[in-house]
């Protein structure tokens, strides 16, 4: 019991669940949190799945932009199936993010690539929720980058990591009796990323076309401050300099960004309001 609740001596060790949560990398942590919260909201009937799925008409005609996010974080109501998917999400997303380095720039760029690709090809397969293909993409990339890792499926089948996507695809085919389109989409998108990130660079003088651009890295990576005499003199010179004049392009761009953000927030608030029909009293 003490091991489950965490020992109280020293005050350093907390609850195991809390420790497990904060040890996850930042992208995996908040993706898992959003997934559990969304399923809980649906279970409590605060929102419905009809307000969460992706639809081109709903997003780009009715301006329901939140669906671009919720389609990737809803895996179904609270159930054993959700636990299974959350386990796969946290395990392989965490392993892949930890191998990408301390900065979340590379892994977040991978998520942006995969989600954009899935949104673009979704009209071909008409899938309302894209969380499973995104998770399958991460599983495929991890499996290709760990070719010597031994895995066991249900304690019966032992295989190496590159066969994991195909084992899951076969299991889904046997279990549901239909071709797993989500697994196939994950394999295709994951292989494109793996090829241009791991196979293509050694053959073309280290050129990595799928690396995040510099502006994306600056969003997540900060240069360490140098407390040297030159750095201090530069800070004094900057403080003594007159205030810079902001260009009208920057002001207009910032204003447009603020307007777009406010429209997204307003549309989300309107979309999540559950309208109940009025029932007239019987005379």
Q: Highest mean pLDDT: which of 144-153, 186-195, 199-208, 265-274?
A: 186-195
Could you report the per-residue pLDDT of 37-89, keeping only the tens digit for each? 999 999 999 999 999 999 999 999 999 999 999 999 999 888 888 888 888 88
Q: How far apart are CA 75 and CA 82, in angstroms?
A: 6
Q: How far apart are CA 234 and CA 28, in angstroms?
A: 39
Q: How far apart are CA 125 and CA 152, in angstroms?
A: 31
Q: Is residue 272 part of a domain?
A: no
Q: Is residue 266 part of a domain?
A: no
Q: Which domain holds residue 12?
A: 2-222
Q: Is residue 108 part of a domain?
A: yes
Neighbours of 56 (CB within 10 A): 12
**Are 142 and 95 in contact, with CB atoms under 8 Å apart?**
yes
Q: What is the mean pLDDT of the chain?
A: 77
Q: Is residue 202 part of a domain?
A: yes
Number of domains in the chain: 1
Q: Is residue 240 part of a domain?
A: no
8 pLDDT higher than 90: no
Beta-bridge partner residues of 75: none
Residue 199: CATH number of its domain: 1.20.1540.10
**Are 105 and 217 in contact, with CB atoms under 8 Å apart?**
yes
Which sign, positive or negative, has the C-alpha torsion 19, 24, 26, 27? negative
- Per-residue exposure over 59-69, b if at least 16 CB sit within 10 Å of its own CB, e if not: beeeebbbbbb
Q: Give the pair of three-digit tokens for residue 198.
A: 């791991």
Beta-bridge partner residues of 158: 152
Q: Is residue 260 part of a domain?
A: no
Short-list 38, 60, 58, 36, CA closest to 48: 38
Q: What are 95-101's contacts with CB under 8 Å, separation 24+?
A: 95/142, 96/138, 96/141, 96/142, 96/145, 97/25, 97/27, 97/28, 98/25, 99/142, 99/145
pTM: 0.72
103 pLDDT higher than 90: no
Q: Is residue 20 part of a domain?
A: yes
Q: Is residue 236 part of a domain?
A: no
């Amino acid at each position: 019991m003490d091991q489950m609740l965490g020992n109280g001596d020293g005050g350093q060790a907390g609850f195991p669940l809390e420790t497990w949560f904060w040890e996850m990398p930042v992208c995996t942590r908040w993706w898992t949190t959003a997934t559990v919260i969304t399923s809980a909201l649906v279970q409590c009937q605060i929102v419905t799945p009809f307000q969460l799925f992706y639809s081109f008409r709903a997003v780009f005609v009715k301006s329901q932009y939140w669906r671009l996010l919720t389609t990737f974080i809803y895996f179904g109501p609270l159930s054993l199936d959700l636990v299974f998917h959350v386990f796969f999400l946290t395990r392989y997303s965490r392993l892949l993010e930890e191998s990408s380095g301390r900065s979340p720039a590379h892994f977040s760029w991978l998520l942006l690539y995969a989600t954009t690709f899935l949104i673009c090809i979704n009209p071909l397969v008409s899938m309302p929720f894209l969380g499973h293909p995104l998770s399958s993409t991460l599983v495929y990339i991890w499996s290709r980058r760990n070719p010597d890792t031994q895995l066991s499926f249900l304690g019966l089948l032992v295989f190496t990591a590159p066969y994991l996507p195909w084992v899951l695809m076969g299991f889904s085919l046997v279990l549901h009796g239909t071709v797993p389109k989500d697994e196939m989409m994950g394999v295709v998108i994951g292989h494109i990323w793996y090829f241009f990130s791991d196979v293509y660079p050694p053959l073309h003088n280290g050129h990595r076309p799928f690396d995040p651009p510099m502006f994306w890295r600056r969003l997540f990576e900060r240069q360490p401050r140098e407390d040297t005499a030159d750095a201090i003199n530069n800070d004094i010179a900057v403080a003594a300099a007159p205030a810079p004049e902001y260009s009208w392009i920057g002001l207009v761009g910032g204003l447009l960004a603020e307007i777009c953000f406010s429209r997204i927030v307003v549309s989300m608030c309107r979309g999540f309001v559950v309208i109940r029909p009025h029932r007239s009293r019987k005379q």
